[in-house]
């Protein structure tokens, strides 16, 4: 893995851009400042890897825009060593950011090739705190529940009940909900049988699909 001064300089610029756009969580900004994003992309996109843009990855999916990664990660309001479940591993970038923020990360992907590539990437980066699964994220990861945070990185037509049920009390589910474009919802489990929903604006994601491939 090649990470040179140019990449490091570009990352500092990206962090400055994210601050200007309103991201203030220092843990997220530090993680994005440390993590080489170019290695998660096709070589052809390397030059643009530190622009605040999404890019295509395998299986017709996308690596989210850094602003979106930072925004969703901030909404989780994580404390060190807390357990987080990510649905939609994709390139693995978002999971790696959460791991560098100090979370214990579990991540699920429905496309086997993406799952395998991301798993290898976590090994190469020495991110041993991430556990990756090839599964259908609609069901969550009941055997590892409850989670302090659940982060969905694909646009869901509705909120899967299983995910709400796998939050600890006080835990937060951050999920873009809608078909064409999505509203970023944060659902907080306030009691055993009570959830509070907040709306954090409009975003656009690839679809959350059932089953595995």
How are beta strands 61-63 and 55-57 bridged, if at all?
antiparallel
**Quick check: 14 binds ligand SAH (CB under 6 A)?**
no
Q: Closer CB to ligand SAH, residue 137 or residue 171?
A: 137
Least Cα distance to 108 among 76, 130, 86, 84 occurs for 86
Catalytic residue among 64, 73, 74, 91: 64
Phi, psi (rounded to 5 degrees) for 61: -110, 180
Shortest Å distance, C-beta 158 to ligand SAH: 13
**Quick check: 91 binds ligand SAH (CB under 6 A)?**
yes
**Quick check: 94 binds ligand SAH (CB under 6 A)?**
yes
Site string for ligand SAH, 33-72 (x = CB under 6 A): ----------------------------xxxx--------
End-to-end CA distance of the chain: 29
Site string for ligand SAH, 166-205 (x = CB under 6 A): ----------------------------------------
Ramachandran bin of 196, using left for φ above 0, alpha for ψ from -120 to 50, beta for the remaining angles: beta
DSSP-H helix ranges across 110-206: 112-124, 161-165
Span of 13-21, 76-84, 130-138, 180-188 interacting with ligand SAH by CB under 6 A: 130-138
**Quick check: 87 binds ligand SAH (CB under 6 A)?**
yes
Using an 8 Å Cβ cutoff, are 159 and 132 in contact? Answer: no
Q: Which two tokens stand for residue 56?
A: 């295509």
Least Cα distance to 6 among 49, 40, 45, 42 occurs for 49
Q: H/E element holding 175?
A: strand 167-177
64 catalytic residue (yes or no): yes
**Quick check: 138 binds ligand SAH (CB under 6 A)?**
yes
Span of 18-26, 41-49, 85-93, 165-173 interacting with ligand SAH by CB under 6 A: 85-93
Residues in contact with ligand SAH by CB under 6 A are 61-64, 87-88, 90-91, 93-94, 108-111, 114, 136-138, 153-154, 206, 208-210
């Amino acid at each position: 893995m090649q990470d040179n001064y140019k990449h490091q300089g570009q990352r500092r610029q990206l962090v400055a851009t994210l601050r200007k756009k309103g991201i203030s969580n220092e843990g997220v900004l530090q993680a994005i400042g440390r993590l080489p994003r170019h290695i998660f992309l096709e070589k052809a996109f390397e030059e643009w890897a530190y622009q605040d843009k999404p890019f295509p990855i395998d299986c017709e999916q996308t690596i989210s825009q850094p602003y979106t990664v930072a925004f969703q990660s901030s909404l989780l309001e994580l404390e060190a060593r807390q357990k987080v479940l990510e649905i939609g591993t994709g390139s693995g970038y978002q999971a790696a950011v959460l791991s560098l923020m100090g979370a214990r990360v579990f991540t699920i992907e429905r496309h086997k090739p993406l799952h395998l590539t991301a798993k290898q990437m976590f090994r190469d980066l020495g991110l041993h705190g991430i556990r990756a699964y090839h599964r259908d994220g609609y069901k969550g990861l009941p055997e590892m529940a409850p989670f302090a945070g659940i982060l969905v990185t694909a646009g869901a037509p509705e909120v899967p009940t299983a995910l709400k049920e796998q939050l600890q009390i006080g835990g937060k589910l951050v999920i873009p909900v809608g078909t064409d474009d999505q509203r970023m919802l944060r659902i907080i489990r306030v009691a055993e049988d009570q959830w509070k929903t907040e709306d954090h604006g409009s975003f656009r994601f690839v679809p959350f699909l059932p089953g595995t491939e």
